[in-house]
Structure 1
Amino acid sequence: MHDDPAHRLGHPDLRRRGFLAASGAASLGALALTGCGGSPSGSDGPGGGPPRRGGRLRAAFAGGGASESLDPHLGSLFADAARAKALYDKLADYDADLVARPRLASAWEPNAGLDRWKVTLRDAAFHDGKPVTADDVLFSYRRIADPEKTFRAKASLEPIDLKASRALDRRTVEFVLKRPTAEFPNVLAAFGAYIVPEGAGDFDGKPVGSGPFRLVSFSPGRSTVLRRNDDYWDGSPYLDQLEFIVANDESARVNSLLGGQVEYAHELSPTTARAHEKAGQIEIVRLPGSAMQAFAMKTDRPPFDDKRVREAFFLIADRKELLNGALSGAGEIGNDLFGKGYAYYADGLPQREQDLGRARKLLKQAGAEDLRVTLDTSAVAAGFTEAAGIFRDQAAKAGVTITVRNGSKESYWNDILDSGTLCSYRSGAMPIESHFSQRLLTGSTTNATKWQHKDFDALYQQAQSTRDDRDRAAVYERMQRRLYAEGGFLVWGFADWIIGTARTVGGVDRRAPANTLDWARFDKVWLR
């Protein structure tokens, strides 16, 4: 939650909510947690009451159509992530404060040079009863890193030398890294870095994971039915069954919730939330400031290969108008940087304000007084099309003509990765370091702004070689100042993440941003 008071750790711009790190390298030492179960903090719904076992919960998500797969390494949508979380486990995952916490791993410890990390596995088993071993971990990571595949977590695993990494025994992996990596636990917690059995290949037929639910049936683009895994290492789920139902239109998700066809509706709009919040028929759950809202400018092609044009666009944006008009004010304004409220966020930079006069001057200097640009957007996310229209009108006041082009909801994220010049963009929660590594390095595979600078890459590697938190924060601040001045992300806001549930649902976490452990964590949810 981005608007919570930040905890300061020595450096003026180092923010880490709820995470108290020791000075220097102590925070990089051996980490072990013996259990992660129990009811999430602040998680109950109206009416209270203890957890109950039994029942079938139906959850409506926007899906990916007939191309959907239960391969956990292929997912890119929130629906994919929720299904994968139910069926599989990662070595680590993020808590509500964006700190990596052990899951299938029970402990990790680096060597003095930060280029070898020993990871110990907990006693866990796959759905077929076979134990999760070091060989399964290495198989999974090597599969994700396959150069012939386009797996989501591939870029996150790039620091690992998987040929040199090895199993020390059945429950211990030694990861050999290509370079010092101070925040290696973030790699273990990366989106899509799920562990599957060695040799796994038939994910849509009979997927075998180690997660809290087992597959009953899967109909791509329609429904996925799961049943409780009574042998789950983190405790048997309360629910007997869990069904994911695809409903791409928000109105369909809301109407299904109101009509009793589902008990959980993911990603509601601020307008819908406001309409139903006080009516009492359903419960509205707000996760404040969870999703970055932005426009992405491709910095490798005209007109945005000129940093003066990018700065002009920063100055064209009236962020308050965008927040109020596109999100009904449900969130807070951004400052062209990712991760407001997270560890290492550079909150000392001045809040950028609209300055149309300066924007016109910069465009003239760049020879772009009569600039015409196409803005790609889609109804794939709440507020996208509204924000595009508002920004189009703001740009017109600076002499820029923007044509809004609406794309397919099913293919939007793939379409905008390499094509076009300007697009609507959103991101759920992840550490700022992961945002850098996955989106802003020369080799990043999800680099939507095509930001590719060797000196920026070098700063990232310097940060990862730095054991002291405060010294690392100083490097990250330099990187963010560069992005603030000339980057490709025009970050105009941070939206509340909104979920609707039936009033019979308990255990829904009220702190966890999307993409963190306790978001969509149905093994800890119950029906009253």
Structure 2
Amino acid sequence: MHDYPGLHRRGFLAATGGAAAALTLAGCGGGPALKSGKDQGGKPRRGGRLRAAFAGGGAAETLDPHLSNLFVDAARAKALFDKLADYGSDMSARPRLATRWEPNSGLDRWTVTLREAVFHDGKPVTAEDVLYSYRRIADPKKAYRAKASLEPVDLAESRAVDARTVEFRLKRPTAEFPNVLAAFGAYIVPKGTERFDKPVGSGPFRFVSFAPGRSAVFRRNDAYWEGAPHLDEIEFVVAGEESARVNALLGGQVEYAHELNPTTARAHEGKGQVEIVRLRNSAMQGFAMKTDRAPFDDPQVREAFFLIADRAELVKGALSGAGEVGNDLFGKGYTHYAAGLPQRTQDLDRARHLLKRAGAEDLRVTLDTSPVAAGFVEAAGIFRDQAEKAGVTIEVKTGNKDSYWKDILDSGTLSSYRSGAMPIESHISQRLLTDSTTNATHWRHKDFDALYQRLQSTKNTSERNALYERMQRRLHAEGGFLVWGFADWIVGTARRVRGVAGDAPANTLDWARFDTVWLA
């Protein structure tokens, strides 16, 4: 993605801005009666309307799946539409509308076979719909979400072999092409679609109504290719502030509340009134050091900062314990993660030694941070105190949350950083290559770029894994990301809600997936 990664706090591309704090429910009392008995069994029950509260974006909300900038937009897009593939909990691509994909020997031509699926109007999903959707996303005049992910594809030369077969021609070898099919926002719409006031998709729910900033109601699609959802209806309601979502859940106005903070989770977990679901490894938390300017152009200084960090203290203090420690690499638990590298721990003596050897005793550094994401300001304060023990003076500078990600991309030397879930390959290509557009650490090494190109040209999986480990070993030793933790994403549900996946990071297939949810 070419968006700024930290904006995953309240949306995929953009923060919610001044979303109203009040909860607005459309037809609050008019939905189907829901049985609230004590059935705790595992067998799904059919029926009922589930009401799900999300932070919103007011008039900026949309049902155009290619413009899904907010979490609520993305959740609604998932209910109405399908992609060719989606990400599993380990960020590997899983088949959805595509049943299989096969490369040629050069990895620059991929044949994708579609499953038999139909849109809500009964028309079949075809190869022409796929090509139309991807060409729409790639429109250079538009800012569609998945545009950057489709960059390797030569859409002018790609073609429909038949109704259910697409031949994608690529600009270069791309071993990780399935990640393109699973890209965030790469939804398939019917050929010719431009308006989304009454959207037609192939997803598990059909459109009923939509009031931006307030509510959207969708009804079960009985013809869904993966089987009809258990629920009769899903209603997405907007509650801009976390307190409004929590109060609506506790008061029985909604059955699902997205994006709760750790304090709220601790207050209600195990108390019996609501269920707390933690989506592990949903957000990387860290600091970005600019590797092309003093003092972080010296690898010894970067290593010293790695050793200054007490990761457990940062997770406990900045994330209220709702997460786990990091090891200065992105993607803990994801496919291709270098889990075998030794866990780095605080070593202040070694840090002081490295700083002295680099001629950086009595170092003074400005740390840019902002309330743009949960825990940023707290982590900056904790790290400042940790650095002081190594003789480093950190001045914490709090910036404007509306322009923070743009401001830190090229300015400053040290900044608070976070990222939502994505494949490790995407993290490398979008943030760590010389020409990456969101290269916040200014990591620019031609030999590293060459390793990435070699990786994409390598068909053998074990050889490709070895290249991933080689690249991560180098980043762990001398990279610019100090990754101190991975935050949980937290949702709350009413006790009668079943089927909410607890092992799916945000941005993956099972996140906000309501076709598998039912009401006991």
- Give the shorter-chain TM-score range: 0.7 to 0.9
Query: How do 1:21-420 and structure 2 match up within 5 A?
Result: 47-203=40-196, 205-299=197-291, 304-360=296-352, 362=354, 365=358, 369-378=362-371, 380-381=373-374, 383-397=375-389, 398-405=391-398, 407-408=400-401
Q: How many Å separate the matches in 2 of 1:478 and 1:118?
A: 30
Aligned equivalents of 1:308 and 1:139: distance in 2? 51
Structure 2 unaligned segments of length 5 or more: list them: 1-37
Cα 1:100–1:367 shift into 2, 3 Å: same
Shift of 1:406: 5.2
State the distance in 2 between where 1:46 and 1:329 align: 33
Asked whether 1:515 is paired with 2:507, we answer yes
Alpha-carbon contact 1:451-1:488 (below 8 Å) kept: yes
Q: 1:263 is matched by which residue type in structure 2?
A: E
Residue 321 of structure 1 deviates from its aligned partner by 0.5
Summarize the Cα distance change of 1:348–1:411 in structure 2 as closer, same or farther, 3 Å threshold. Answer: same
Residues 54 and 461 of structure 1: is their aligned pair in 2 closer, same or farther, counting only changes over 3 Å?
A: same
Structure 1 unaligned regions, length at least 5:
1-44
Using the alignment, how far apart are the partners of 1:76 and 1:488 within structure 2? 28
Q: Distance in 1 between matches of 2:327 and 2:209?
A: 45
C-alpha displacement at 1:49, in angstroms?
4.3
**Distance of 1:336 and 1:191 partners within structure 2:** 25
Helix, strand or coil: the match of 1:174? strand
Q: Give the direction of change, closer, same or farther, for the CA distance of 1:302–1:157 in structure 2 (3 Å limit).
A: farther
Deviation at 1:99, TM superposition (A): 2.6
For residues 263-303 of structure 1, what are the alpha-carbon distances to aligned partners after superposition, in whole Å with 9 as ceiling and x for unaligned? 11122222222221121000111233343222233445565
Of 72-81 and 178-187, the range deviating more from structure 2: 72-81
Q: What do residues 143-189 of structure 1 show as CA deviations (whole Å, max 9, x unaligned)?
A: 22233333332232222122211111121110112222222212111
Tell me, yes or no, if the aligned pair for 1:395 and 1:402 is still in contact at 8 Å.
no
Offset at residue 472 of structure 1 (A): 1.1
Number of residue equivalences: 481
Decide whether aligned partners of structure 1 residues 522 and 73 sit closer, same or farther in structure 2, where only a CA change above 3 A counts: same
* 8 Å Cα contact 2:135/2:155 also seen in 1: yes
> Does residue 489 of the first structure (1) align with residue 481 of the second (2)?
yes
Which of 454, 457, 464 matches 1:462?
454
- Which amino acid is 1:468 matched to? N
Partner SS, residue 449 of structure 1:
coil
Relative to structure 1, the CA distance from residue 345 to residue 425 in structure 2 (aligned partners, 3 Å threshold; closer, same or farther) is same
Secondary structure class of the residue paired with 2:418: strand
Counterpart AA for 1:277: E
Structure 1 counterpart of 2:269, one-letter code? E
Amino acid at match of 1:125: V
Q: 1:443 to 1:107 in 2, by over 3 A?
A: same
Q: CA distance change for structure 1 residues 217 and 404 in 2, over 3 Å: closer, same or farther?
A: farther
> Compared with structure 1, are the counterparts of its residues 180 and 501 closer, same or farther at alpha carbon in structure 2 (3 Å cutoff)?
same
* 1:360 and 1:369 in contact (8 A); partners too: no
Deviation at 1:517, TM superposition (A): 0.9
Whether the 8 Å contact between 1:376 and 1:420 is mirrored in structure 2 is no
- Partner secondary structure for residue 295 of structure 1: strand
**1:202 & 1:134 partners in 2: Cα distance?**
21
CA–CA distance in structure 2, aligned partners of residues 492 and 173 of structure 1: 42
1:500 aligns with 2:492: yes
- Matched residue SS, 1:162: strand
Q: How far apart, in 2, do the equivalents of 1:321 and 1:448 lie?
A: 25
Aligned with residue 418 of structure 2, among 400, 421, 426: 426
> Counterparts of 2:415 and 2:52 in 1: how far apart (Å)?
30
The farther-off stretch of 343-352 and 304-313 is 304-313
* 2:469 equivalent to 1:477: yes
Deviation larger for 455-464 or 355-364: 355-364
- The verdict on how the C-alpha distance between 1:284 and 1:468 changes in structure 2, with shifts beyond 3 A counting, is same
Deviation per CA, 1:399-432, whole angstroms, max 9, x where unpaired?
2223241543x77656655665544333333332
Q: Does the aligned pair in 2 maintain the 1:116–1:176 contact within 8 Å?
A: yes
* Identical aligned residues as a percent: 74
Given the two structures, how large is their TM-score scaled by the length of structure 2?
0.85
Closer/same/farther in 2, CA of residues 401 and 359 from structure 1, 3 Å limit: same
- Judged with a 3 Å threshold, the aligned counterparts in structure 2 of structure 1 residues 387 and 351 are, in CA distance, closer, same or farther, namely same
Amino acid at match of 1:178: K
Question: Compared with structure 1, are the counterparts of its residues 495 and 86 closer, same or farther at alpha carbon in structure 2 (3 Å cutoff)?
Answer: same
C-alpha deviations, 1:89-120, integer Å up to 9, x for none?
A: 11001223333111111221111222211001
RMSD of aligned alpha carbons:
2.6
The corresponding residue for 2:9 is none
The whole-number CA distance in structure 1 between the counterparts of 2:68 and 2:415 is 21
Q: TM-score, normalised by structure 1?
A: 0.83
User: 3-state DSSP class of the match of 1:161?
Assistant: strand
What is the Cα deviation at residue 65 of structure 1?
4.3
| Residue equivalent to 2:16 | none
**CA shift in 2, pair 1:440/1:76, >3 Å:** farther
